[in-house]
């Protein structure tokens, strides 16, 4: 089977297209899945460019395809089911149970940059009805992260005000989910072109954070008191403005650290405003199933910016890393 591996960890040309042995039939509790699509996430770039990644590692945490065969004891899935991957296969229900990526496909385990996967059935969930494989692949990381921020943890309800930083995969899903739920949205970007595109997707207000560096105050004005939920992706450089933008008692959900992993936090303002600051990473299978139920029959479709073939995964990574995309970058197999 065709696959892409991290052949030269840490080097600019780290990836190689290879032929690997077919993984064979599934064992008890396993499924065999033909992978048809994946999408790119920030963590994928970190793994591929990390010199400590083991040579031969198969990357990509998103994956979607069709079940070809099930092993003994598998009852939740059947041959012919369209499925997509679970980020934390062992986190079944309740609060967070995992604080590392050792059990995450594409990060700690072999990922989906390959044609066929044989793995425990818990690693896959049925795709929403009517979704293409490319659309389903966007849900593993980006879709589920946005769902958890807004609904599982944020308790979003109609009329709430949501601030969304950026126009990447999670951000665009958050915009779509929020509008589907009847919320008011404010989106930030440094690109006027992207801001116009998110307006077309339903954003109620937009802010160019380069021309308005004190955008937290601007959000306060636009929302007449601050955002109920803030989707925070930047980390130390943007967190102070996100806290400023939140309403008294609001929620700031930190899902990314694009500007670093440490920095100053305005603890006085955080305390006086009684803002809840919440760090999170994707979500568990129960949240994933809730999301799929909501999407079954819903008019929402993921925003796909551009599609690459698996042979061009390196080009896809360069395009993704340039930051020019809006929504998801897909890799088809």
pLDDT tens, residue by residue, 169-208: 999 999 999 999 999 999 999 999 999 999 999 999 999 9
Beta-carbon count within 10 A of 331 CB = 28
Greatest Cα pair distance in the chain: 60
The gap between the terminal CA atoms of the chain, to the nearest Å, is 11
Confidence of residue 157 (pLDDT cuts 50, 70, 90): very high
Short-list 150, 115, 116, CA closest to 31: 116
User: Across all residues in the chain, what is the average pLDDT?
Assistant: 96
Q: Is pLDDT at 326 greater than 90 in this prediction?
A: yes
Number of domains in the chain: 2
Confidence of residue 231 (pLDDT cuts 50, 70, 90): very high
Quick one: 136 and 6 in the same domain? yes
Range of the domain at 252: 154-279
Quick one: 205 and 221 in the same domain? yes
Q: Is pLDDT larger for residue 167 or for residue 258?
A: 167
Quick one: 312 and 218 in the same domain? no
**Residue 96, pLDDT score:** 92
**Mean pLDDT across 79-102:** 95
DSSP 8-state code for residue 109: B
Quick one: 133 and 6 in the same domain? yes
> Would 6 be classed as within a structural domain?
yes
List CB contacts of 286: < 8 A, sequence separation 6 or more: 92, 93, 94
Q: Is pLDDT at 24 greater than 90 in this prediction?
A: yes
**Residue 236, pLDDT score:** 85
Q: Which two tokens stand for residue 206?
A: 């937009």
Q: Is pLDDT at 260 greater than 80 in this prediction?
A: no
> Would 87 be classed as within a structural domain?
yes
Confidence of residue 234 (pLDDT cuts 50, 70, 90): confident
Short-list 137, 108, 104, CA closest to 123: 104
Confidence of residue 22 (pLDDT cuts 50, 70, 90): very high
**Helix, strand or coil for residue 320?**
helix
Short-list 236, 230, 238, 237, CA closest to 275: 230
**Residue 12, pLDDT score:** 87
Q: What is the pLDDT of residues 267-292, one digit of tens each?
A: 899 999 999 999 999 999 999 999 99
Quick one: 10 and 65 in the same domain? yes
Short-list 215, 234, 242, CA closest to 206: 215
Quick one: 266 and 189 in the same domain? yes
Q: What is the pLDDT of residues 104-156, one digit of tens each?
A: 999 999 999 999 999 999 999 999 999 999 999 999 999 999 999 999 999 99
Q: Which two tokens stand for residue 144?
A: 């589920």
Q: What is the pLDDT of residues 92-111, one digit of tens each?
A: 999 999 999 999 999 999 99
Quick one: 172 and 231 in the same domain? yes
Q: What is the CATH number of the domain that holds 309?
A: 3.90.180.10
Please give the distance of CA 59 from its chain centroid, rounded to a whole number: 15
Q: Is pLDDT at 79 greater than 80 in this prediction?
A: yes
Q: In sequence order, what E strands does 191-245 have?
A: 205-208, 227-232
Domain end, chosen from 279, 301, 323, is at 279
Confidence of residue 49 (pLDDT cuts 50, 70, 90): very high
Quick one: 7 and 121 in the same domain? yes
> Would 148 be classed as within a structural domain?
no
Give the separation between CA 141 and CA 312, rounded to whole angstroms.
21
Q: What is the CATH number of the domain that holds 232?
A: 3.40.50.720
């Amino acid at each position: 089977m065709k696959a892409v591996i991290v052949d030269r960890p840490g080097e600019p040309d780290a990836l190689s297209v290879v032929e690997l042995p077919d993984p064979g039939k599934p064992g008890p509790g396993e499924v065999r899945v033909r992978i048809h699509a994946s999408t790119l996430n920030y963590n994928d770039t970190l793994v591929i460019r990390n010199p400590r990644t083991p040579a031969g590692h198969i990357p990509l945490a998103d994956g979607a395809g069709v079940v070809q065969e099930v092993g003994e004891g598998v009852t939740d899935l059947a041959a012919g089911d369209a499925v997509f991957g679970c980020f934390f296969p062992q986190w079944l229900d309740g609060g967070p149970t995992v604080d590392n990526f050792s059990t995450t496909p594409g990060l700690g385990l072999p990922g989906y940059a390959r044609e066929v996967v044989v793995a425990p059935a818990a690693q896959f969930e049925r795709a929403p009805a009517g979704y293409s494989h490319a659309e389903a692949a966007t849900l593993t990381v980006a879709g589920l992260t946005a769902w958890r921020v807004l609904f599982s943890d944020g308790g979003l309800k109609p009329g709430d005000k949501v601030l969304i930083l950026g126009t990447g995969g999670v951000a665009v899903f958050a915009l779509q989910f929020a509008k589907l739920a009847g919320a008011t949205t404010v989106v930030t970007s440094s690109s006027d072109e992207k801001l116009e595109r998110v307006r077309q997707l339903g954003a109620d207000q937009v802010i160019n954070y380069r021309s308005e560096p004190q955008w937290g105050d601007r959000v306060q004005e636009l929302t007449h008191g601050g955002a109920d939920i803030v989707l925070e992706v930047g980390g130390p450089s943007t967190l102070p403005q996100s806290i400023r933008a939140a309403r008294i008692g609001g929620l700031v959900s930190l899902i990314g650290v694009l500007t670093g992993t440490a920095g100053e936090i305005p603890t006085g303002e955080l305390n006086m405003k009684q803002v809840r600051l919440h760090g999170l990473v994707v979500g568990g299978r129960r949240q994933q199933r809730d999301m799929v139920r909501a999407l079954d029959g819903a008019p929402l479709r993921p925003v796909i910016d551009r599609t690459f073939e698996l042979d061009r995964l390196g080009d896809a990574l360069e395009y993704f890393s340039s930051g020019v995309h809006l929504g998801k970058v897909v890799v088809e197999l």
